[in-house]
């Protein structure tokens, strides 16, 4: 098992990519902290891991608040004695054309997607630095390259890439690798409401001609969180069916 004995926090772990990552990590031997604002959803995922013979706890908390992030990390260390892996998967979107975008829409998306990633990294880096070991995987997006109607989302995800590069430079000597996964269109709750004709148009632009499955993004998380990627840091892995090649 590739994560045997490791302890991992998965933010936004109640569904979609986060859930698939939590389940996969548990199968690979990790003890998992499932974080989500959806308390019942997080408990359900942790329960599913437990029924399969793994170890997991569910933790709620607002990643936009420093004290909450420190508490989430503290609960992981208190329960399992260490923290090896952080998957920053929590994120939201509030789409609008620039002319109509409100400050609330801008602030909400930047706060969760970028500030939340920063604060969770900051909290996790304390125990990781002490142990001289850590794997952090942040969530960027193909949207970081620009997307109509998503100025706030695109800016937040481009910021995640810059943050990832900077953290990688600052903590490489501490044995901590920091990378990002940049998913393309993926079959999640966030994309479930896309009208069929628009979805077809998106698929036509993707060389692979389909949306990703959440499990395919989870597999990228697993690689970067494992020691198979021990010499990989500061990188953004696009998992997008090839669409970024043509942008």
Backbone angles phi, psi at 236, to 5 degrees: -120, 115
**CATH number for 173:** 3.40.50.720
For 92-102, write each residue's pLDDT tens digit.
Answer: 999 999 999 99
Q: Are 93 and 150 in contact (CB under 8 A)?
A: yes
From 52, 80, 84, 69, select the one nearest 11 (Cα to Cα). 69
Query: What per-residue confidence (pLDDT) applies to 94?
Result: 96
**Do β-strands 56-59 and 85-88 pair in parallel, antiparallel, or remain unpaired?**
unpaired
CB atoms within 10 A of CB 53: 8
Instruction: State pLDDT tens for residues 133-187.
Output: 999 999 999 999 999 999 999 999 999 999 999 999 999 999 999 999 999 989 8
Would you say residue 51 lies in a domain? Answer: yes
Provide the number of structural domains found in the chain: 1
Number of Cβ within 10 Å of residue 207's Cβ equals 12
Q: What percent of the chain shows pLDDT beyond 90?
A: 90
Nearest to 7 by CA among 78, 96, 62, 67: 78
Q: Residue 103: which H helix or E strand, with range?
A: helix 103-110
Residue 188 is assigned to a structural domain of this protein: yes
Active site residues: 153
Tell me, yes or no, whether 92 lies in a domain.
yes
CB atoms within 10 A of CB 189: 9
DSSP state of 14: T
* Domain coverage including residue 134: 7-242
Q: Is residue 31 part of a domain?
A: yes
Residue 50 within a domain = yes
Q: Give the whole-angstrom CA distance, residue 62 versus residue 35.
A: 9
pLDDT at 247 over 70: no
Question: Which helix (DSSP H) or strand (DSSP E) does residue 58 occupy?
Answer: strand 56-59
247 belongs to a structural domain: no
Let me know if residue 196 belongs to a domain: yes
What value does the mean pLDDT of the chain take?
96
Q: Could you tell me the two tokens for 17?
A: 């990519």
212 is a domain residue: yes
């Amino acid at each position: 098992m590739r994560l045997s004995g490791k302890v991992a926090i998965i933010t936004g772990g109640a569904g979609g990519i986060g859930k698939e990552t939590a389940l996969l990590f548990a199968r690979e031997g990790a003890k998992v902290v499932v974080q989500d604002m959806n308390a019942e959803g997080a408990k359900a995922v942790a329960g599913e891991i437990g029924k399969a013979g793994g170890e997991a706890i569910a933790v709620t908390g607002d990643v936009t608040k420093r004290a909450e992030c420190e508490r989430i990390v503290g609960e992981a260390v208190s329960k399992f004695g260490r923290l090896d892996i952080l998957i920053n998967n929590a994120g939201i979107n509030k789409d609008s054309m620039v002319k109509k975008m409100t400050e609330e829409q801008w602030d909400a998306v930047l706060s969760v997607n970028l500030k939340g990633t920063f604060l969770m990294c900051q909290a996790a880096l304390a125990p990781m630095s002490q142990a001289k070991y850590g794997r952090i995987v942040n969530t960027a997006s193909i949207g970081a390259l620009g997307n109509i109607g998503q100025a706030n989302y695109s800016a937040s995800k481009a910021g995640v890439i810059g943050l990832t590069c900077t953290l990688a430079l600052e903590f490489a000597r501490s044995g901590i690798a920091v990378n990002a996964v940049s998913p393309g269109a993926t079959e999640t709750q966030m994309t479930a409401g896309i009208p069929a004709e628009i979805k077809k148009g998106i698929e036509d632009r993707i060389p692979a001609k389909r949306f990703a499955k959440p499990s395919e993004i989870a597999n990228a998380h697993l690689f970067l969180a494992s020691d198979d990627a021990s010499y990989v840091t500061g990188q953004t892995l696009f998992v997008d069916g090839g669409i970024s090649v043509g942008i």
